[in-house]
Structure 1
C-alpha cells in the first residue's frame, strides 16, 4: 500500500524539523567558536546531537515505510521530549521577563537567525505530528485484519 499524502507530507516536515535542528547546532557552535573556541565539551555536544539527528532520520525513514513503532517513537521522542526541550526553557525565560527573540534565539550575533530557524523547527514538529495522526495516516498505519480461519 502506497503511503497517503498526509504521511508523505509528515515525512517532509520531519526532515525539515531535523534539518532545522542541524542548522541550530551550526549557529550555536559558530557563536561559541567565535567567542571562546571549541573545547572538548562542545565537540561532545556535537557528537551527541549528530547521533540524535541520525537516529531521527532513521526513524523518519521507517515511518515513511509504514512502521507503526517508528510513528510512536517519533511522537514520544520528538513530538513530546524534543518539543519540550525546545519550548520549556524559552517559556521559562519569557516568564522571567526576557524578550521573545532573546528567550528563543539568545543574545549573540546569530540570535535572529536562530530565532527564525527555531520557529521553523517548532512549526515543522507540530505540523508533522498532526499529519502523522490524521485520518489518512491512521488508516495507513492500521494493522491489517487477520484473515478468518
Structure 2
C-alpha cells in the first residue's frame, strides 16, 4: 500500500514541530548567553535536547515507513508528554495573571519570536497527531507486513 497523503502530511508536520523545538532552544540559549553566558548546566541542557530531537526525528522516519510502534511512541512521547511540557507551564502562568506573550514567550528580547515559534510548534503537534490517526493513516498502519517490522 502506498503511503497516504495523511501520513505524508503528518510526517511533514512532525518534522516542522521538531524543527520548531530546535529553534526554541536556539532562542532560549541566545537569551541566556546574552544575559549571563553559557555554563555547564546550559551545555548539559543543549545535549539532552539534541538527543531528544535526534530521537524524535528517528521516530518520525520509522513512522513514515509505516511502523506502528513509532506511531504509538510519537503519540505518547510528543503528543502527550511533549505537548503537556509546553502547555501546562504556560497555562499555570496565565492562571497566575501573566500576559499571553509572557506566559508563552517569556520576557526577554526574543519573547515575540519564541511566542510565534512555540505557537507553530503546538499547532504542528496537534495537526500531526490528528492526521496520524485519520482513517487513511489507520488503514496504512493496519497493513499485515508492516506489523512485523
Q: TM-score, normalised by structure 1?
A: 0.96
For the pair 1:110 / 2:110, whether they are aligned, the reply is yes
* Structure 2 residue aligned with 1:71: 71
Take 1:137 and 1:44, find their aligned partners in 2: how far apart are those partners?
37
Mapping for residues 1-40 of structure 1, pairs under 5 Å: 1-40=1-40
SS where residue 6 of structure 1 aligns? helix
Aligned residue pairs: how many?
145
Take 2:107 and 2:142, find their aligned partners in 1: how far apart are those partners?
46
Take 1:24 and 1:87, find their aligned partners in 2: how far apart are those partners?
14
Take 1:144 and 1:47, find their aligned partners in 2: how far apart are those partners?
38
> Residue by residue, what CA displacement relative to the aligned partner does 1:20-47 show, whole Å, maximum 9, x if unpaired?
0000000000000000000000000000
Gaps of 5+ in 1: none
Q: Which has the larger radius of gyration?
A: 1
Take 2:68 and 2:62, find their aligned partners in 1: how far apart are those partners?
9
Q: What is the CA-CA distance between 1:143 and the residue it aligns to?
A: 4.3
Take 1:32 and 1:98, find their aligned partners in 2: how far apart are those partners?
21
* Structure 2 residue aligned with 1:61: 61
- The CA RMSD measured in Å over matched residues stands at 0.9
Gaps of 5+ in 2: none
Runs of 4+ in 1 over 6 A off after TM superposition: none
